[in-house]
Structure 1
């Protein structure tokens, strides 16, 4: 067994921490784990990463600077998180497992994006820099593939057409009732805690229970 190398494979569609953050009235981000709602999903995923990492690498601890090669396999080509945001989510779980001391150890990283409808997952290889080095190059293809083009999200396309309507109904919207995302009870605006960039409201009692 090489003490300067570790491999981790975690099955399931990779998710990004940024999609599950809530924000309190002071702007501090929180990641709930016991609300019983959708937002708990990230905390459970992080625990899964930590568990699988330790199970696959029992007793191993990498303490030196590392090279990381991350292969992310999404279930769908059309709907998945930004791959750039995935790395933080994965390394938080790896760090939590104790396999590495701190994610700052990752000094070089290669990320590749793939698709596997039947077996979404991520595969991570970690190499100690004192033993391994990395080489890569980009070459021009002899025969070009069909390009994978990207377009703006639908909400951006609608933004300009909705701006006038939003301005007109802003004052009336403030009078609407708010409902707690966790317990579902009706709450007043001044009694709610804003979350998810103002898209979510949480009552103060439920907010306290998130910790």
Structure 2
């Protein structure tokens, strides 16, 4: 029985968080076969499943696994959040039957690269019973160029403008509301005990615990 498998899927990975869940009779599911853009995730998941099975015929992992995921994006500036794509990838791997449940992956390493001509992801799976994972973080002898990140395009200019106003509103709210000396929760009318000439206020829940 194999203790190692590798899956390579071409194209830029799709994040599951980009697709809305649809409610039907109290249940939620990802839309598919709708003829709309929403089908894209279901198609991608099926593509992963087909390639994973074709590249690893006869392999089925049932025990704990170490996973090393290398993602090669087409563009360094525009691509999905790497920490959001693992769900879609492992959903496809689980659908292939290569693994029983994505909870089998107990150790995961994700590495981000760039390949304009051949965007893809490469996933290597190792049986934890047969392999161990070791890594080292060390200071570079020669620092590389700093890579700065900016807020998403649809939030630029909004975050910085909203923060001062929001902070002021919170401060005003805290100033106007009387709070319990013990738990610091806002006090509702009549739901507190006062003492020390009205300078000490304790909610009835905390007062009951102190008695």
| TM-score scaled by length of structure 1 | 0.71
Q: Over aligned residues, Cα RMSD in angstroms?
A: 2.2
Aligned to 1:125: 124
Aligned to 1:79: 78
Is the contact made by 1:70 and 1:112 (CA closer than 8 Å) also made in structure 2? yes
Aligned to 1:154: 153
Aligned length: 162
What's the CA shift for 1:50?
0.1
Q: Distance in 2 between matches of 1:69 and 1:35?
A: 34
Aligned to 2:202: none
What's the CA shift for 1:160?
6.2
Q: Distance in 2 between matches of 1:93 and 1:61?
A: 14
Q: Distance in 1 between matches of 2:35 and 2:78?
A: 24
Summarize the Cα distance change of 1:134–1:149 in structure 2 as closer, same or farther, 3 Å threshold: same
Aligned to 1:18: 17
Which string of whole-angstrom CA distances, capped at 9 and with x for unpartnered residues, describes residues 95-135 of structure 1?
00000010000000100001111101000000001100000
Q: Structure 1: any 5+ residue segments left out of the alignment?
A: 164-211
Q: Structure 2: any 5+ residue segments left out of the alignment?
A: 163-211
| TM-score scaled by length of structure 2 | 0.71
Is the contact made by 1:67 and 1:128 (CA closer than 8 Å) also made in structure 2? yes
Q: Distance in 2 between matches of 1:115 and 1:162?
A: 34
Which string of whole-angstrom CA distances, capped at 9 and with x for unpartnered residues, describes residues 41-60 of structure 1?
11000000000000001111
Summarize the Cα distance change of 1:27–1:73 in structure 2 as closer, same or farther, 3 Å threshold: farther
Summarize the Cα distance change of 1:3–1:25 in structure 2 as closer, same or farther, 3 Å threshold: closer
Is the contact made by 1:17 and 1:86 (CA closer than 8 Å) also made in structure 2? yes
Aligned to 1:204: none
